[in-house]
Amino acid sequence: MATNYIYGTYSDLNQLAPFERELVYDVDAVFQSIGNILQTEKGERFFRPEFGSELGGFLFELNDAGTAAMVEKWIVDAIERWDTRLVLDYNRTSVDQNPDNYQMDLLLAFSIVGIPGTVSYRGVLKA
């Protein structure tokens, strides 16, 4: 059974051009939301102290498989709590250590409720 997809199911203000009153839609809005969640430390946002992630706590931890697993858990927990539009694919979501570059490579694979297909979000967590 095919579903009808309407462009503009999700929208948000464009944070790259906030004074131009442009909006971002659908996948771009979700990517922006993921960035907001991961870049905001818990306690940083007024009136919503639980919003965000706790990635800053891993800044000076040893870059090994155990730390990468903990970072992945914190990211998945934060995304699932704060953006209910996403359905994560746990088999394809990963945080891989990259100690030579002092970073961890992030891959989030998910589908968006109401939008057909799957999407991948790639990011880098730098020390």
Q: Identify the CATH number of the domain in which residue 31 sits.
A: 3.10.450.40
Question: Is residue 43 included in any domain, yes or no?
Answer: yes
pLDDT of residue 19: 84
- Residue from 46, 118, 41, 51 nearest 82 by CA: 51
Question: Is residue 2 included in any domain, yes or no?
Answer: no
- pTM for the model stands at 0.87
pLDDT of residue 20: 82
Number of domains present in the structure of the chain: 1
Domain that holds residue 122: 11-126
Question: Is residue 39 included in any domain, yes or no?
Answer: yes
Tell me the C-alpha distance between 84 and 74, whole Å: 16
> 120 versus 9: which is more confidently predicted?
120
pLDDT of residue 33: 95
Give residue-wise pLDDT tens across range 35-66: 999 999 999 999 999 999 988 888 788 888 99
Question: Is residue 6 included in any domain, yes or no?
Answer: no
- Reading phi first (left if > 0) and then psi (alpha if -120 to 50, else beta), residue 15 is in alpha
Query: Is 88:76 a contact under the CB 8 Å cutoff?
Result: yes
| Residue range 77-89: mean pLDDT, rounded | 96
Question: Is residue 3 included in any domain, yes or no?
Answer: no
Provide, for the chain, the percentages of residues in helix, strand and coil under a 3-state DSSP scheme, each rounded to the nearest 5. 30, 30, 40
Question: Is residue 30 included in any domain, yes or no?
Answer: yes
